[in-house]
Amino acid sequence: RSAPERLDAFWMPFTANRQFKQHSRLLASARDMHYTTVDGRQVLDGVAGLWCCNAGHGRTRIIEAVSRQIATLDFAPTFQMGHPLPFVLAERLAAIAPDPLKHVFFTNSGSESVDTALKIALAYHRARGEGQRTRLIGREKGYHGVGFGGMSVGGMVNNRKFFGPMLPGVDHLRHTLDISRNAFSRGLPKHGAELADDLERLVQLHDASTIAAVIVEPVSGSAGVVLPPEGYLKRLREICDKHGILLIFDEVITGYGRVGNAFAAQRFGVTPDMITTAKGLTNGSVPMGAVFVSNAIHDAFMQGPEGVIDLFHGYTYSGHPLACAAALATLDTYAEEKLFDKALDIGAFWEESIHALRDLPHVIDIRNFGLIGAIELAPREGKPGSRAFDVFTKCFHDKDLLIRTTGDVVALSPPLILDKSHIGQIFGRLAEAIRETA
């Protein structure tokens, strides 16, 4: 395919090329619930940018905090030195994290948070004299970013297949979605918790004493918005506890209010040993990630395998002053506007509105949880591309609505500031687009 066609299919800014400067999908500015394109169209944001901008766009408090910070302290070296903001931010994050995850390691993205968590898991076991625990377990169709750790534990085929070899000693739990059993069920699927027992299969296969950690997204986004069946995460926790395996929740998309609590761990009532986050931490403004770990893991990791501080980990930009300023202003905004509660309050209307689309052509499932939504369309035979991608382009170009598509699924994750009229507009425009592309 030619480069413009590839751009149409994927739009990857890292391939940016002068010839695309006037492409009509370039975004020039953003405020609250809308983007403005370079050709002046106002586009309603149904996906918070990319699951990031939970407080909407162009928030004054964040703009001012970052502006003040760059004028005061633009950068501070990470090693041997520091500045006060990461400590202030760590306190604030500890206050919203579930017990006992009261320590944070700062990163610059979701991928880095995942790789950091996997490294911490390995070092933790070594520090406890269990250095044989090196195996990592992800899940089929999981997405954990593009670093070698995240790619290896991830299970999205296109994300992996050209980039091997992957990390050795990685295995994957079976995928948990069974549409035929759960089609159009609202909220979490009622069936399927027993799929977590697949972890016992891997424990038998590999021997529990070789397994360091299991990583899963509580709700996976990139696989097409896959919701855990009721009890699934709890069963995983029980099996991990039984065998001394660490459980990591990748909350890069679910973190910071999207499902009605600060973290999905709290909403599901299951506490992992680590939580990886990014995106909503700074409302998508300055890149930043954070890994939450328990006191025990923090202490073992920092002490190092031999009982002396001789391990090295950290990024030049860990705890960057601008990112910290952005994160603090973001957390203030979330708290002041009670946005996490709002995701729950408006959730019932969201659920009604999305399920009203069930009789549209080719719709084979609808899923919702918190302010997350997915509409799955029947796969199209004999023609390249998916229906969902056609719906995405129709929405963007003809309906001034930004959605996301992954495989045959239309995914939605609007800013938490939205009101009922925005929900009406999102589903009204989306319904038209689905009808017109049928």
Does residue 406 belong to the site contacting ligand PMP (CB under 6 A)?
no
Q: How far is the CB of 262 from ligand PMP (least distance, A)?
A: 16
Rg (CA), the chain: 21
d(CA 204, CA 207): 5
Strands 274-277 and 211-216: unpaired
- Told to check if 280 binds ligand PMP by CB under 6 A, we report no
Phi and psi at residue 128, to the nearest 5°: -95, 15
CB nearer ligand PMP, residue 217 or residue 305: 217
Task: Pick one of 124, 143, 268, 340: the residue that binds ligand PMP (CB under 6 A).
Answer: 143
Residues touching ligand PMP, count (CB under 6 A): 14
Q: Residue 392 and residue 386: Cα distance in Å, rounded?
A: 10
Decide if residue 375 touches ligand PMP (CB under 6 A).
no
Asked if 346 and 420 touch (Cβ cutoff 8 Å), the reply is: yes
Q: Least distance from C-beta 424 to ligand PMP, angstroms?
A: 27
Angle at 73 between CA 68 and CA 79, to 5 degrees: 145
Interaction of residue 48 with ligand PMP, rule CB under 6 A: no
- Of 111 and 437, CB closest to ligand PMP: 111
- Binding-site member from 37, 69, 134, 222 for ligand PMP (CB under 6 A): 222
Which of 86, 192, 221, 229 lies at the binding interface for ligand PMP (CB under 6 A)?
221
d(CA 360, CA 185) in angstroms, rounded, equals 16
How many whole angstroms separate alpha carbon 256 and alpha carbon 331?
9
**List 278, 297, 327, 377, residue binding ligand PMP (CB under 6 A):** 278
Q: How far is the CB of 414 from ligand PMP (least distance, A)?
A: 16
Cβ proximity to ligand PMP, 111 vs 185, nearer residue: 111
Q: Both tokens of residue 203? A: 């424990």
Q: Which of 46, 49, 86, 145 binds ligand PMP (CB under 6 A)?
A: 145
Smaller CB separation from ligand PMP, 330 or 353? 330
Tell me the closest approach of the beta carbon of residue 14 to ligand PMP, in angstroms: 12
Task: Between 252 and 270, name the residue whose CB sits nearer to ligand PMP.
Answer: 252
Asked whether position 305 contacts ligand PMP by CB under 6 A, the answer is: no
Which H or E run includes 138? strand 135-139
Longest dimension (CA), the chain: 65
Residue whose CB is nearest to ligand PMP in the complex, by number? 110
Secondary structure class of 35 (helix, strand, coil): strand
Tell which positions 58-117 bind ligand PMP, by CB under 6 A. Answer: 109-111, 114
Residue 260 in tokens: 């009605």
In the block, which residue shows the tokens 């975004």?
27
Site for ligand PMP in 161-220 (CB under 6 A): 217
Return the number of the residue (56 or 221) whose C-beta is nearest ligand PMP: 221
- Residue 106-135 contact track with ligand PMP, rule CB under 6 A, x = bound: ---xxx--x---------------------
Burial 277-314 (b: 16+ CB within 10 A, else e): bbbbbbbbbbbbbbbbbbeebbebbeeebeeeeeeeee
CB of 3 to ligand PMP, least distance (A): 23
Q: Which residue in 193, 253, 322, 402 binds ligand PMP (CB under 6 A)?
A: 253
As measured in angstroms, the least distance from the Cβ of 171 to ligand PMP is: 19
| Partner residues linked to 73 by β-bridges | none
Give residue for tokens 């299951």.
Answer: 270
- Applying CB under 6 A, the span of 68-76, 137-145, 195-203, 263-271 interacting with ligand PMP comes to 137-145
Q: In the structure encoding, which two tokens stand for residue 71, read together?
A: 């004028």
144 binds ligand PMP (CB under 6 A): yes
**Full strand arrangement of the beta sheet holding 363-369:** 363-369, 372-377, 409-412, 404-406
Amino acid at 366: I
Closer CB to ligand PMP, 147 or 305, in the complex: 147
C-alpha–C-alpha distance, residues 359 and 343, integer Å: 26
For residue 359, give the amino acid letter.
D
Footprint of ligand PMP on this chain (CB under 6 A)?
A: 109-111, 114, 143-145, 217, 221-222, 250, 252-253, 278
